Amino acid sequence: MHPQNLRRMAKRTKTDYCQNLLQSYRKRAKGQFLFFKVCEHLNLMEKDYFGLTYKDTHDHKCWLDPTKEIKRQIRNSWQFSFNVKFYPPDPSLLTEDLTRYLLCLQLREDVACGRLPCSFVTHTLLGSYTLQAELGDYEVDQPKPLDYMSQLTFAPNQNKDMEEKILELHKSHRGMTPAQADAQFLENAKKLSMYGVDLHHAKDSEGVDITLGVCANGLLVYKDRLRINRFAWPKILKISYKRNNFYIKIRPGETEQFESTVGFKLQNHRSAKRLWKVCVENHSFFRLNAPEPPTKARFLTLGSKFRYSGRTQAQTRVASSLIDRPAPNFERTSSKRISRSLDGASFIFPQFIIYAFTCSFIHFYLFCAFVLFCCMSAFQSSLGVHGENIYVRHSNLMLEDHDKTQDEVLKHQASISQLKRSFMEAPPPSPPQPNQWEKRLTSSPTTTIRVQPHPVVRVWMLMTLRLKEGASGCILMRIFHTDNFFSESVSSESESEEEAEYHPNVHVSIAHSEIPEEKEEEEEEEEEVEVHVVEQIPNDTILPPVIEEAAPVEVQQQETHDAERPKEAEEKHTTEPENDESTDDPMLTPEEAPPPNGLPLAEEDSPDAGQEEPKVNGQPMTVETEHRPQVICCTEPPVVKTEMVTISDTFAAQKTEIATKEVPIVHTETKTITYEASQLDGNADGEPGVLMTAQTITSESLCTTTTTHITKTLKGGLSETRIEKRIVITGDCDIDHDEALAQAIKEAKEQHPDMSVTRVVVHKETELAEEEED
Amino acid sequence: MAGLLAKFGHYTHAVVRGIPSSLATEALRSSQSEVDLAKAHQEHAEYVEVLRTRLGLEVVELPADEALPDCVFVEDAAVVCGDTALITRPGAVSRRGETEAMKEALKKLDLNLVEMTDENATLDGGDVLFTGQEFFVGLSKRTNQRGAEILADAFKDYAVSTVPVTEGLHLKSFCSMGGPGLILIGASEHAQKALKTMQQMSNYRYDKLTVPDDLAANCIYMNVPGKGHVLLHTTGDQFPESFKVLEKLTDYTLIAVSGLEKMKVDGALTCCSILINKKTDI
């Protein structure tokens, strides 16, 4: 989608856009789906700082959990707002002006409603930057500017005096661009003491009313406006709640011998849980390099297993640094107009309203078609070529009979390793990488078996993008994306959970640059790190370029030799991607795909593979409701329990190896679809280039693992850059893989708008647990 | 803009007040000691002269009021930060009248005035430490929670943390800012404890410089155009050990100011002036 006019977007909210969002409801989509839709609509890439909120039955603002079904979280109110969830401590480090603009919108609302208190002087200053950003230079002949001003909300107790001061300052900003004005706004707003502090009312142990503030640095305790205590994250050993009590266990100070626990009383257990979740998320986002995996599914234990599932600040900064699309166009709308459009309310921030609909299978299938189309058209436009240039191939590795023979397992493994080989045409750059991959391959099925007795689908996606850069050479990019959606029980929790714990230990790979003022404390902390944690995230920090063998790169190098053709293709897709997207080319649907063309990943042709598409997605609809993960944990046969134990050591490579061998309880159905641009063919071998740099960035979380592998080679005066991103989606069928694929392609396209996708490989594996067979 | 963008230690104006004769006998003091009034006058004149000539400040000198024996200690009557001035409600009843003249003077300087009218609130400016990023307010015999709350309300941009002051008159009786991000702190147990509290409460990291004598930790830091870091401190004669520590600040211009007589009535260096940064660049 192209840059959006935000105002138009706000207006369109209730029309076509809602239609799309509605689909998500029908599909029982997870929060993530809706959130991605909204971000897509906003054309936002640095989305990790944001989230969707809804009001619970008690009118409390709650964050929509991306890993859980929307329907299960909200209570009849299909109204969400898009909000800043993690306020970046230094907004100047954001990559895009659009992101800064959205942050400004949030802060303007925060300031105007008094949530972010500031002095008179600061109100006037921020107001003047808002005017400069929205209206441009002060116009001397503007009639009655003060009348206009009084319709804008800058402060909770705005008066004429303030408005005059704002105008006066506005005059002084002459010549400042909107982006500069936003930047200045943020520079001033970020210094405010309550910037990014999420407040929760509580009582201390003596019943005195206090306010707890969660922020990037830790937990703040206020009595009225005064800060009376502060617990920096490194000082906190454990965060927990039990009923309406919220506890933090404090690391002993220099002179103390024992840990102490501080307790606070919240209004009710929901408030306590909400506070606890905010703490877990803030700690993870600001202090960790990668989110902590969910707690082990202990047998018959209670308590929330909630963990932050998004990217951490460290990860999102890496991701942001890879954005190289041209700055998106967007229009800054007047706060006034926006607030009018929302029935005179003072909302400046876009809101999304969705109406409830009844779910039915018809809708569901319609939805499938819709997503499929999205996915295909996105693919097509990225390629910038039409049907005849694309070869689509299906391979259905269906294991027909349900007997789990050793043969099958081997076959299964063979197919996995073949996939792996093809995916890793470029051998991994550093030792930790293959392990990571190995682990994912081997551990994922068992993980899902444990938690979901019904079909499990794993999808790998591989995209190859190509870019011609300048006249001097071609840049070849291959996008390899890894996403990992764990299945439901991971995030399963219910209102009945009245307690939970969280140990905010910072992993060894914490980015030391994150919170420089607490370096000392961080050092202290590292002593706490356990060995398995270190193993868990071997490669999370940005590695300095690692030199690897040149061999991997050569496979695709020749493609870039032909400077003309890529150029053509690129021109096509950069000039008219939107048109392409809207073209419904039948050539692109899997059913009508032309015959395969010797693609490496295809094992076997299966003309009817496409027809199974809806079935794969449809299955969970029929089985899901009866199977709650908690129950399954207790009723699974012993062999499965054993697997559970194995899973708890997911990160010990050896053990997961064993787990894979024990996979026999699973039936596997795999399917591989490869889409490839024709230019690739016949260019199979080329002389190796000189490897300049190779770099691998891995980020991993509960739901997302992204491995980005960048190599630069120099060959015959041509410089080639290749980025590989791997996406692995593992989870129950309820996850919309097609949507995820479309999203991934889209993201890749956005990040590198001037490249063409040269290859996309989709491999699906459906595994049926034994209980499901009949 | 002043407020958020004001650079720490930049000042243009100072408000001071004369010494009334009543200071010698009637001013509040924690120890029994005789004040040599003539000497006190001389010291004060020196002090004002340093502000005026060496630091280049525009000094507003309020006349002494015999009915207000402690009126020379202007710091307690108001807290000025950026464009905003909070007129306090001093903890000692005998000093409440000091705010009147101060209010008028600050009004003339075109500051936004906030008055502490709540009868349950008390606050002495000597309990307020502004670090450039945030406020620390000492909860002492003179300053209470309510006073601190009103201060927080007056300066909404900044975090305001409270620090219990168990010994000594004010928070600044044993500490002060020695530069941007540098806290000068006395070596006494209660001073060190207060510093720990401040460090724990803050999202910022401060350096500390510990001087052996609590009273020597009260200095006036300024960033003077053309001079850079300037520190007004007590004389080496008065606190030789502390002076040795301060001498380590090599890139500073150190100016010794005698405060012997005023100290007898618990007056430290910061007590005798209110420093103001009036923006001139807009």
Q: Chain A contact for B3, CB < 8 A?
A: yes
Q: Residue A256: is it exposed, middle or buried by C-beta count within 10 angstroms (0-12/13-18/19+)?
A: exposed
Q: CB distance A193–B162 less than 8 Å?
A: no
Helix, strand, coil percentages, rounded to 5, for chain B: 30, 25, 45
What is residue B119's predicted lDDT score, i.e. its pLDDT?
Answer: 95
Q: pLDDT per residue over A636-662, tens digit each?
A: 333 322 222 222 232 333 333 333 333
Which element (helix H / strand E) includes A536? helix A531-536
A631: how many CB neighbours lie within 10 A of its CB? 12
Catalytic residue (choose from B13, B170, B229, B233): B170
Residue A472 predicted with pLDDT over 50 = no
- Select the residue from A225, A518, A523 to test the B interface by mutation, using most B Cβ atoms within 10 A: A225
Nearest chain A alpha carbon to B139: A228
- Strands (DSSP E) found in B29-158: 58-62, 78-81, 84-87, 112-115, 128-130, 134-139
Asked if B149 lies within 8 A of A192 by C-beta distance, the reply is no
| B28 assigned ligand-binding residue | yes
Contact B4 A117 (CB under 8 A): no
Report the C-alpha gap between A10 and A330 in whole angstroms: 13
List pLDDT tens digits, range A108-149. 999 999 999 999 889 999 999 999 998 888 877 666 666 777
Please choose, from the candidates A482, A566, A553, the residue with its C-alpha nearest in 3D space to the C-alpha of residue A711: A553
Residue A172, CA distances (Å) to A139, A581, B3, B279 in order: 12, 45, 17, 15
Residue A144: its pLDDT value, please?
64
Q: Is the pLDDT of residue A631 over 50?
A: no
B134 has a chain A CB within 8 A of its CB: yes
Q: Please list the residues that pair with A458 across neighbouring strands.
A: A730, A765
A223 contacts in B (CB within 8 Å)? 145
Q: How confident is the model at residue A765 (pLDDT cuts 50, 70, 90)?
A: low
Q: pLDDT tens digit string along A711-726? A: 555 655 565 556 666 6
Confidence (pLDDT) at A698: 55
At A741, give phi and psi (nearest 5°): -65, -45
- Give helix A120-135 / helix A97-112 axis angle, nearest 10°: 140
Residue closest to A66 by CA, chosen among A563, A536, A749, A735: A735
CA atoms within 13 A on the CB side of A106: 23
Give residue B93's identity as a one-letter amino acid code.
Answer: V
Q: Which of B113, B195, B203, B205 to mutate to test the interface with A (most CBs of A within 10 A)?
A: B203
Cross-strand bridge partners of residue A221: A212, A229
Instruction: Report the distance separating Cα B26 and Cα A211, nearest Å.
Output: 44
Spatial separation of the C-alpha atoms in residues A187 and B6, rounded to whole Å: 13
Q: Is B265 annotated as a binding residue?
A: yes
Instruction: Using alpha carbons, select from A324, A600, A315, A591 the residue that is nearest to residue A465.
Output: A324
Asked if A117's CB is within 8 angstroms of B161's CB, the reply is no
Of the candidates B83, B160, B201, which has its C-beta nearest A230's C-beta? B201
- The answer to whether A466 and A753 have CB atoms below 8 angstroms apart is no
Distance from chain centroid for Cα A187: 27
Identify which has the larger pLDDT, A368 or A415.
A415
Bigger pLDDT: A157 vs A339: A157
The most confident of A246-255, A483-492, B29-38, B204-213, by mean pLDDT: B204-213
DSSP A30: B
- For residue B250, give how far its alpha carbon lies from the nearest alpha carbon of chain A (Å): 24
Q: What is the pLDDT of residue A78?
A: 72
- Model confidence over A293-336: pLDDT tens digits? 765 554 444 567 778 878 888 888 888 888 888 888 887 766 54
Question: Which of B82, B154, B159 is opposite residue A227, by nearest beta carbon?
Answer: B159
Residue A184, min C-alpha distance to chain B (Å) = 11
Q: Which stretch of A50-54, A671-675, B118-122 has the lowest confidence by average pLDDT?
A: A671-675
Q: How many alpha carbons fall within 13 Å on the CB side of residue A563?
A: 11
CA distance A383 to A759: 9
Contact residues on chain A for B3, CB-CB shorter than 8 A: 119, 121-122, 125
Give B79's contacts (C-beta < 8 A, 6+ positions apart).
B85, B86, B88, B123, B125, B128, B130, B151, B154, B155
Q: Among A612, A620, A614, A609, which Cα is nearest to A733's? A: A620
Q: How far apart are alpha carbons A32 and A713 in whole angstroms?
A: 37
pLDDT of residue A68: 85
Q: What is the largest CA-CA distance in chain A?
A: 85
Judge contact between A292 and A227, C-beta under 8 A: no
CB-based contact (8 Å) between A117 and chain B?
A: yes
How many Å apart are CA B93 and CA B81, to the nearest integer? 25
Chain B CB contacts of A117 under 8 Å are: 156
Given a contact cutoff of 8 angstroms between Cβ atoms, the answer to whether A192 and A122 are in contact is yes
The answer on whether B246 is annotated among ligand-binding residues is no
Chain A partners within 8 Å of B84 (Cβ): 119-121
Q: Which helix (H) or strand (E) holds A22?
A: helix A16-26
Contact yes or no for A228 and B162 at CB 8 A: yes
Determine the length of chain B. 282
Residue in chain B nearest A220 by alpha carbon: B201
**Bigger pLDDT: A747 vs A681:** A747
Choice between A340 and A21, residue whose per-residue pLDDT is larger? A21
Higher per-residue pLDDT: A456 or A693:
A693
Beta strands per DSSP E along A642-749: 666-677, 690-700, 705-715, 718-732
pLDDT confidence of residue A140: 73
In this complex, which of A117, A119, A193 lies closest to B134 when CB atoms are compared?
A: A193
Contact list, B153 vs chain A (CB under 8 Å): 225
How far apart are the C-alpha atoms of B11 and B223, rounded to whole Å? 8
Cα–Cα nearest to A117, from B103, B148, B34, B153: B153
What is the pLDDT, as a whole number, of residue A722?
Answer: 62
Query: Is residue B142 marked as binding?
Result: yes
Question: Taking the CB of residue B166, how many other CB atoms lie within 10 A of it?
Answer: 13
Q: What angle do CA A728, A730, A731 make, to 5 degrees?
A: 155
pLDDT tens per residue across span B164-181 = 999 889 999 999 999 999
Instruction: Note the pLDDT tens digit of each residue in A507-526.
Output: 433 333 333 333 333 333 32
The Cα of B261 is separated from the nearest Cα of chain A by a number of Å equal to 36
pLDDT in tens, A526-576: 222 222 222 222 333 333 333 333 333 333 333 334 434 444 433 334 333
Using pLDDT thresholds of 50, 70 and 90, give the confidence band for residue A7: very low
Nearest CA to A5 among A43, A50, A52, A37?
Answer: A43
Name the nearest CA neighbour of A45 among A118, A96, A105, A8: A96
Q: Say if residue A410 is exposed, middle or buried (CB neighbours under 10 Å; 0-12, 13-18, 19+).
A: exposed
Nearest CA in chain B to A516: B205
Q: Place A247 in a pLDDT band, splitting at 50, 70 and 90.
A: very high
Q: How many CB atoms lie within 10 A of CB A525?
A: 22
End-to-end CA distance of chain A: 44
Pairwise CB contact (< 8 Å): A225 & B134: no
**A282/chain B closest Cα distance in angstroms:** 15
Report yes or no: A133 and A348 within 8 Å, Cβ to Cβ.
no
Interface test with B, best of A120, A191, A197 (most B CBs within 10 A): A120
User: Would you call B271 a catalytic residue per the annotation?
Assistant: yes
Tokens of A593: 């795909």
